[in-house]
A and B are shown apart, each in its own frame.
Chain A
Amino acid sequence: MLASLLIVFREVIEAGLIVGIVLAATKGVARRSLWVAYGVGGGVLGACLVAGFAGEIEQLFQGSGQELFNASILLLAVVMLTWHNVWMAGHGRQMAREMRQVGAEVAAGERTLTALSIVVGVAVLREGSEVVLFLYGIASQPGTTTASLLTGGALGLAAGAAMSALMYYGLLAIPAHKLFRVTSGLITLLAAGMAAQAVLFLQQAGYLEVLTGTVWNTSWLLAEDSLVGRLLHTLIGYSDAPNGAQLVAYGAVIVAIVLLMRWEQGRQARLKAAAAPAPVAAE
């Protein structure tokens, strides 16, 4: 039971953390729970489909279908996270102010919820398909231990959900006016880590065979498959032995997001100045 608990927990930890971050990043936005639920639901459905067609996906692109599929959905998540951050850079301050002043849910920001819903869906789909395959494998083998393994699996899922709650309430402890800045930072690192992971999949697919040499190895300090290593892998893209192309992708995504956020901030400020020549409200 413990073994299956650990396997399932290990797989759902990533999705759990991402859901927690997304919930915190959208605090105060109307109907965000619904959108997150869409993401989770869609992800579970997708996970079952991917698990069911694992063999077929694998046969695509000369046996590199699985890697290309993983890389594609990760890159989709990177684009969505970027979009969210850039949008928030333009509207976040206004949202935070509305939240403080009115204490009510903000109607704005629903557009960016679509993006985050997709991110949640992708996270659930990726990890979920492995959980489905694992649990299906157990369930299809009759044996005395099946029930206890499935119990372990259910407990693992619950532990993943608890991780989600922990992340969410942990982030909520941050004062509201700083919350968006913190979640923007987290989302930037999340996106960079996903891009580095996508590079690894492209390399495994044989499509990106540049800078594949390991640049440094810190497994002696913190192994990536330890619990802390896994948490950091999800949150900031920690890898104990990254290769050159991964580091390039990681850095490029951070730079791109920061530049795009600055640009959008400036654009919104100019728009506001043009629309209302004498703004009174202080930022």
Chain B
Amino acid sequence: MKLVLLTLGAVLVASSALADDAGIPLKLKNHRFTPAEIHVKANVPNLIVMSNEDATAEEFDSTSLKVEKVVAGNSSGNVRIRPLAPGRYPFMGEYHSDTAQGVVVAE
């Protein structure tokens, strides 16, 4: 119960803090992410705007971030990141995971 209340508290604090409206840009080209390391503020929601400059679709996929998002070729998509505890959260482009790798660093 205590855990639940603590979580609730954390949520309320987190949602009162406003997210960066513009979003953090993330570019995918030749199946590589730039920047490959994204720094975000911990404990607030964040928005990553991923622009896919390849001709084919890619899926932004991260188990630790709990995000699965398909971004069509030559288009862009919003990736909402929930409030994160400080730490490193790897992500990948699922269709080209040998090159499309990145990490979100919450601090």
Contact B15 A7 (CB under 8 A): no
Cα distance, A69 to B69, chains bound together (Å): 12
Instruction: Give chain A's interface residues, CB within 8 Å of chain B.
Output: 3, 7, 51, 54-55, 58, 63-64, 66-67, 129-130, 133-134, 136-137, 140-141, 200, 203-206, 209-216, 219, 223-225, 239-241, 243-244
Contact B75 A58 (CB under 8 A): yes
Instruction: Enumerate chain B residues within 8 angstroms of A212, measured Cβ to Cβ.
Output: 11, 14-15, 45, 82-83
Contact A204 B10 (CB under 8 A): no
Instruction: Enumerate chain A residues within 8 angstroms of B10, measured Cβ to Cβ.
Output: 213
Instruction: Enumerate chain A residues within 8 angstroms of B67, measured Cβ to Cβ.
Output: 204
B37 within 8 A of partner (CB): no
Contact A66 B3 (CB under 8 A): no
A-B contact pairs, 29 of them (CB 8 A): A3-B98, A55-B72, A63-B77, A63-B78, A66-B70, A130-B59, A133-B56, A134-B57, A134-B59, A134-B95, A137-B57, A137-B73, A140-B55, A204-B69, A210-B11, A212-B45, A213-B8, A213-B10, A213-B11, A213-B14, A215-B3, A215-B7, A219-B63, A219-B64, A224-B63, A225-B63, A239-B66, A240-B63, A241-B64
Instruction: Give chain B's interface residues, CB within 8 Å of chain A.
Output: 3-4, 7-8, 10-11, 14-15, 45, 55-59, 63-64, 66-67, 69-73, 75, 77-80, 82-83, 85, 94-95, 97-98
Instruction: Enumerate chain B residues within 8 angstroms of A216, measured Cβ to Cβ.
Output: 3
* Number of residue pairs A-B, CB distance < 8 angstroms: 94
Instruction: Enumerate chain B residues within 8 angstroms of A136, measured Cβ to Cβ.
Output: 56-57
Contact A204 B11 (CB under 8 A): no
Question: Assuming the A-B contacts A7-B95, A136-B56, A212-B15, are A58 and B7 also in contact, with contact meaning beta carbons closer than 8 angstroms in the complex?
Answer: no
Tell me which of B3, B7, B59 contacts A211 (CB under 8 A).
Answer: B7
| A167 nearest CB across to chain B (Å) | 23
Question: Assuming the A-B contacts A205-B80, A209-B15, are A244 and B56 also in contact, with contact meaning beta carbons closer than 8 angstroms in the complex?
Answer: no
Instruction: Enumerate chain B residues within 8 angstroms of A211, measured Cβ to Cβ.
Output: 7-8, 11
Contact B78 A64 (CB under 8 A): yes
Instruction: Enumerate chain A residues within 8 angstroms of B66, measured Cβ to Cβ.
Output: 200, 239, 241
Residue picked from B55, B59, B95, most chain A C-beta under 10 Å: B95
Question: Assuming the A-B contacts A133-B57, A204-B80, are A58 and B71 also in contact, with contact meaning beta carbons closer than 8 angstroms in the complex?
Answer: yes
Contact B72 A213 (CB under 8 A): no
B79 — nearest CB in chain A belongs to which residue? Answer: A204
| A208 nearest CB across to chain B (Å) | 11
Residue picked from B3, B4, B10, B70, most chain A C-beta under 10 Å: B70
